[in-house]
Chain A
Amino acid sequence: MLNQLTISELTAKLDRREVSAREATQACLDQIARVDGQVKAFLSYDAADALAQADAADQQIKADVQKPLLGVPIAIKDVLAVKNQPLKCASKILGDYVSPYDATAIEKLKAAGAIVFGRLNMDEFAMGSSTENSAFGATRNPWDTDRAPGGSSGGSAAAVVAQECIASLGTDTGGSIRQPAALCGCVGLKPTYGRISRYGLVAFASSLDQIGPFTKDVRDAATMLGVMSGQDLRDSTSIPAPVPDYAAALTGEIKGLKIGLPKEYMVGGLDPEVKASVDAAVKKYQDLGAEIVEISLPHTDYAVATYYIIATAEASANLARFDGIRYGARVEGNDPIELYSKTRGAGFGPEVKRRIILGTYVLSSGYYDAFYLRAQKVRTLIRNDFLKAFEQVDAIVTPTTPTAAFKLGEKSGDPLQMYLSDIFTISCNLAGICGLSLPCGFTQTPKLPIGLQLLGKPFGEETLLKLAHAYEQSTDWHHQFPTL
C-alpha cells in the first residue's frame, strides 16, 4: 500500500515510474476514508484538489523534473496558512476563514513538489497537550482510540501513524510536536527557533513557536527540514544561516559523540516502562560508540511555571487580533468594545479563555515585574543551563514524556496536571534549542509507543539527526504500526 511508504521510499518508486503520484494520493485518501472515522485526525480535506496536484506532479515526473518532495502527499496542521484552503486553528472564532496566501513553509513544500492537502486537528490555537481542546472534537490515538494522541499537534501525529499521509506539518511551542510524536509513535522534529520562517503561522507565543515535520523515519525528517529551512525576509526572527545538507549527516557513525543524561529528568513521576525503554536506548547509544555523560540542568523544575507565564502573556497579546472586525466570526454589539467582548466570549473555548486571562493578568499593571519580568529572567537561567551543558556534550537524551498516552478525559478537568505533562519538552523552547522525539519502545499492555527525546545545540540539527538516525537504524520500532 503506497500510503504506508516513507518519503524516500515513495520518491524512489515515483522516480522509477513504478507508481504515480495520483496512485499514492489516492491511497492516502482511501486510508482516510477507511480509518479517519475512528482516528479523527482531519478536520477537512479537498480530495479533488489533492488529486489535481497529484496529476500536475505526475506531469513533472514525466518531464524528468527533479524535486525533493515531488508527488509526496503531506497534510498540514490547521494553524498554517495554505492559499485558498480553510484555516480555523480548530476554533470557532475564525468562522469560515479561507487563507488568502501561503505560509513560507507551505510555499517551500509546494516549490519542492509536495502535494499539500488536508487540515489536521489540534488543540484550539495550539493550546493543549491532548487535542481535546479542539472546538471540533478530539483526535484519537491510533494505537488505542480511547486514548489521547497528545497535542497540540495531535492530528498531525495521528495522521502519519494511521498512514493517512506520508508526512505532516505541526508546530511546537512547548512540546506540541515532540509530545504527540512520542505518544503516537513517529518522528517529530522541533527545529531551533529561527530555523524555519514563521510567516503564515498563526502566532500563539511568538518567542517560542516553531514549525516542524512529523515523519515515519529520521531520513524523512532531514529531507523536510532541508526543504523548509532558511531565512525569510517576511519573518525578522528567521536566521540568515546557510542550510546544510541534513541527509548527508545520516552516516550512522556516532563514535566519540558525547550525549548528556540530565539527572533532573530521570526522577519523580516517570513511568517505570518509560524509564526502562529510555535506559535501554542509552545503553544502545553506548554500544554504538557514543559516550554518555551525566549532566545537570538545575533549573528544570522551574520550566513549567516560567513557560505558563511567558506563553500566556504572548498569547494574550497575539490573540487580541481576533476581535470580529477584519475576519472570522462576529457577534454584533452596540459599540466596538461590546462587539469585541461578545465575539471573543462566543468564539474562544475554555482553555484559550483561561490562557488569555492568565496572560493578561501577568502583564497587567502591578504584576508585570512580579510575574512576567521574573519569568523572563528565569528563562535566562534555564537557557544558561543548556548552553553550559552543551560545552560538555554534543546532545542531551531524555524521555519525551513521563508516561505513555493517557486516556481521553483523564486530565482534561485539571489544567495544571495537563500542563505538567509537558515537563520534559518545555525547556527546549524556552532555551531556543532544537529537539526531536523518536520511538524507543512500547509499553506491554496495552501496547503504546514510548518516545526518546534528543535535544541539540542551537542550529545543531545535523548532530541531532545523525544521533537519531543511528539509533533508529539499530531498532525496528519505526516499522511498527497500529492495526486499524
Chain B
Amino acid sequence: MASAEIDVKYVAHLARLALSPDEEKQLGAQLGSILGYIEKLRELDVTNVEPTAHAVPLVNVTRVDAVQPSLPHDEAMRNAPRKAGGLFIVPKIVE
C-alpha cells in the first residue's frame, strides 16, 4: 500500500471539487490520519480471496424490453437551475 500521503489538490481536481487553501491543508492532515488507520488492512493475507462487490446473490437482472411510462419532460426539468425551451442551459462546451 502507498504511503499515507494524499496530493489533495490533484485528487480534488479529479473529483471536480473546488477547495480553499485552508480546506486543502486541513483535509490533507485529516486524511493522513485516516489513511494511517486504513493501513491496518495490510496485515491480512488476502491471497485467493474473491472480492465482494455487493452481498446479494443476483446477476443479470433485466426487465422486459418494452416502453414504460416515465417522468413527463417538464417534470424531469422541474428542478433545473437554468433552462430554456425544454433544455438545460450550460456554459459553452465547443468553440
Question: Can you list, as one digit per residue, whether each of A422-454 has a CB less than 8 Å from chain B (1) or not (0)?
Answer: 000000001111000000000000000000000
Checking A101, A334, A341 against B18 with a beta-carbon cut-off of 8 angstroms, the contacting residue is A341
Task: Find chain A residues with CB under 8 A from B61 CB.
Answer: 236-237
Q: Contact check, B14 vs A364: say whether CB atoms are below 8 A apart.
A: yes
A371 to B12, CA, bound (A): 18
Contact segment of A34-42, A123-131, A324-332, A398-406: A324-332
Q: Which residues of chain B (52-95) have a CB below 8 Å from chain A? A: 52-56, 58, 61, 63, 71, 75-76, 78-82, 88, 90-93
Task: Find chain B residues with CB under 8 A from A53 CB.
Answer: none
Chain A residues with a Cβ closer than 8 Å to the other chain, count: 78
A324 to B58, CA, bound (A): 34
Q: Does A308 sit at the interface, judged by CB under 8 A? A: yes
Checking B23, B46, B79, B90 against A374 with a beta-carbon cut-off of 8 angstroms, the contacting residue is B46
Q: Contact check, A326 vs B88: say whether CB atoms are below 8 A apart.
A: yes
A344 to B14, CA, bound (A): 12
Checking B11, B55, B90 against A357 with a beta-carbon cut-off of 8 angstroms, the contacting residue is B11
Contact segment of A137-145, A252-260, A348-356: A348-356
Chain B residues with a Cβ closer than 8 Å to the other chain, count: 52
Task: Find chain A residues with CB under 8 A from B20 CB.
Answer: 345
Task: Find chain A residues with CB under 8 A from B81 CB.
Answer: 95, 324-325, 327-330
Q: A305-B41, A416-B33 are in contact. Are A339 and B90 (CB under 8 A)?
A: yes
Q: A305-B41, A334-B91, A378-B44 are in contact. Are A373 and B16 (CB under 8 A)?
A: no
Q: Contact check, A237 vs B56: say whether CB atoms are below 8 A apart.
A: yes
Q: Contact check, B55 vs A326: say whether CB atoms are below 8 A apart.
A: no
Q: Contact check, B38 vs A344: say whether CB atoms are below 8 A apart.
A: no
- Known contacts A301-B40, A416-B37; 13 additional CB pairs below 8 A are A326-B80, A328-B81, A335-B92, A336-B90, A337-B16, A357-B6, A360-B11, A366-B2, A367-B2, A376-B52, A377-B49, A381-B49, A430-B55
> Which 7 pairs across A and B sit closest by C-beta, in order of nearness?
A432-B55, A345-B18, A376-B51, A327-B79, A330-B81, A207-B54, A236-B61
Interface positions of A (Cβ within 8 A of B): 95-98, 100-101, 193-194, 206-207, 233, 236-237, 239, 299, 301-302, 304-306, 308-309, 316, 320, 323-330, 332-342, 344-346, 348, 350, 353-354, 356-358, 360-361, 364, 366-367, 370-371, 373-381, 383, 415-416, 419, 430-433, 458
